[in-house]
């Protein structure tokens, strides 16, 4: 099989993955609100919305809408920055931490089951190949 044919097959497989509960859950953890929750968890003192925009590679308008939705769900808290009242800091609430933990545990359980079904050798090989692909694709446009 030629590389272009393999690329087409890889795209087809990726599209097929998105039909699977396990891969959909995995994708949700690595984008949008849940990725923002992860980032907020790592930066416990709070972050500026602009920082989230840069980190998630989405527009400030999209971040504003996302933060509004997350605040309505009780996952985040927005407050004035004590050092500069012109800025808002965003931080994770206990509810947000709980949601992140619940979703992460659910996804890890499903992924673990899938890796067990692959067996130890194939699971290790999959991880090795995905790491290598990440290295190769990291800075390509």
Q: What pLDDT is recorded for position 17?
A: 83
Q: What pLDDT is recorded for position 26?
A: 77
Q: Which fold has domain 23-137?
A: Arc Repressor Mutant, subunit A (1.10.10)
Q: Which residues contact 91 (CB under 8 A, 6 or more apart)?
A: 40, 44, 45, 46, 47, 76, 77, 79
Q: What pLDDT is recorded for position 123?
A: 96
pTM of structure? 0.74
Q: What pLDDT is recorded for position 29?
A: 65
Checking if the pLDDT of 1 tops 80, the result is no
What proportion of the chain, given as a percentage, has pLDDT over 90?
55
Q: What is the pLDDT of residues 88-140, one digit of tens each?
A: 999 999 999 999 999 889 888 988 999 999 999 999 999 999 999 989 888 77
Q: What is the pLDDT of residues 14-35, one digit of tens each?
A: 888 878 888 877 777 667 888 8
Where do the domains of the chain lie? 23-137
The two structure tokens encoding residue 121: 């050798």
Q: Which of 70, 63, 62 is nearest to 93 (CA)?
A: 70
């Amino acid at each position: 099989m030629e590389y272009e044919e393999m690329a087409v097959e890889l795209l087809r497989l990726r599209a097929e993955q998105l039909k699977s509960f396990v891969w959909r859950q995995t994708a949700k953890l690595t984008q949008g609100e849940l990725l923002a929750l992860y980032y907020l968890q790592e930066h416990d003192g709070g972050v500026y919305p602009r920082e989230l925009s840069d980190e998630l590679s989405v527009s400030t308008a999209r971040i504003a809408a996302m933060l509004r939705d997350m605040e309505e769900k009780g996952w985040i808290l927005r407050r004035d920055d004590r050092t500069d009242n012109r800025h808002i800091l965003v931080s994770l609430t206990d509810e947000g931490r709980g949601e992140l933990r619940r979703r992460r545990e659910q996804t890890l359980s499903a992924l673990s089951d899938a890796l067990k079904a692959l067996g130890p050798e194939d699971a290790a090989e999959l991880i090795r190949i995905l790491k290598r692909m990440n290295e190769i694709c990291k800075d390509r446009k």
